[in-house]
Amino acid sequence: MADDQYTRQDPRHQYPGPEQQRGHEQRHPGTDEDMGPTPDHGERTYRGSGRLVDTKAVITGGDSGIGRAVAVAFAREGADVVLSYLPEEQEDAEETAELVRRADRRAVLVPGDLRTEDACRDLVDRAVGELGRIDVLVNNAAYQMSQDDGLLGISSEQFDRVFKTNVYALFWLCKAAVPHMRPGASIINTSSIQAFQPSPELMDYAATKAAIVNFTKALSADLVGKGIRVNSVAPGPVWTPLIPATMPAEKVDTFGGQTPLGRAAQPAELGPVYVFFASQESSYITGEVLGVTGGQLLT
């Protein structure tokens, strides 16, 4: 286990490998407490350095996984955060909010299903009402469901849910948030290695992640004249509740083993990348996709 994100060590053995993972299947959306091993979101390992002081951020999918890691990192860097999540994830969201408050930052909890435009507008309105403005929008909420039968296993209902959650919500949120963003603001979209190396069992999910990459590049060109940067983080395999909640146990037991580093990422390893895109350190970067993939290439 890392002492903090600055401790130099062998990345192959920094966190548990697939042989220590157990496929305790869960119902979607899944919870952290039922996972083995419990994911590291940076609770004990992320050390802030004031890079986001007085930043006001909105994080979707902020209850657990990557979203929780981003919330922890942002708070320890000085940001107040609005956390968006599904109502059934309230317990996990409360835990994330507590971690933010321990960093002496404000956490605003906004449960809701972002598959409607009204819910996306309500989230933005609540964020502006509570925090006064939006400096960083992190579009991280996502839905996937693995189907061994590929195309024939994907129902129209699943296809609709995946696109509404992953793409429509991102579009609606950006459209609602941009009028409240000042020059220097940042939008960060979570795509995936699946946008570049799609798996047949995640065909619909992969298609949405490819759409996010394309949308990120187009939106960055559209908003550069407003001084708003738009970038994307493309994770590879990450040990989050989404995995045992959407994949069969036998795949969970080997999850991440195909990467050159030989393991899945922990959410804490994603947090610093979002901080980088949110901070002024990345002032000359927009329209980029940064892979956090354990050595797998975005080709």
pLDDT in tens, 180-219: 999 999 999 999 999 999 999 999 999 999 999 999 999 9
Domains and their CATH numbers in the chain: 30-292 (3.40.50.720)
| Catalytic site positions | 205
- Count each helix (H run) and each strand (E run) in the chain, helices first: 9, 7
Q: Give the per-residue pLDDT at 164.
A: 98
**Beta partners for residue 233, in sequence order:** 190, 290
Stretches where the chain sits below pLDDT 50 are: 1, 23
pLDDT tens column, 166-187: 999 999 999 999 999 999 999 9
C-alpha span between 294 and 151 (Å, rounded):
28
Relative orientation angle of helices 90-102 and 65-76, to the nearest 10 degrees = 20
Adjacent-strand bridge partners of 138: 59, 188
Of all helices (H) and strands (E), which one includes residue 15?
none
- 190 is written with which tokens? 């979570």
Cβ–Cβ under 8 Å, residues 293 and 235: yes
- The span from the CA of 223 to the CA of 174, in Å, is 11
- At 1 the pLDDT is 44
Q: Identify which of 227, 274, 289 has the alpha carbon closest to the alpha carbon of residue 57.
A: 274
CB 139 within 8 A of CB 169: yes
Cis ω on the peptide bond leading into residue 235 (within 30° of 0)?
A: no
Q: What is the pLDDT of residue 244?
A: 76
pTM of the model: 0.89
Tokens describing residue 113? 């299903």
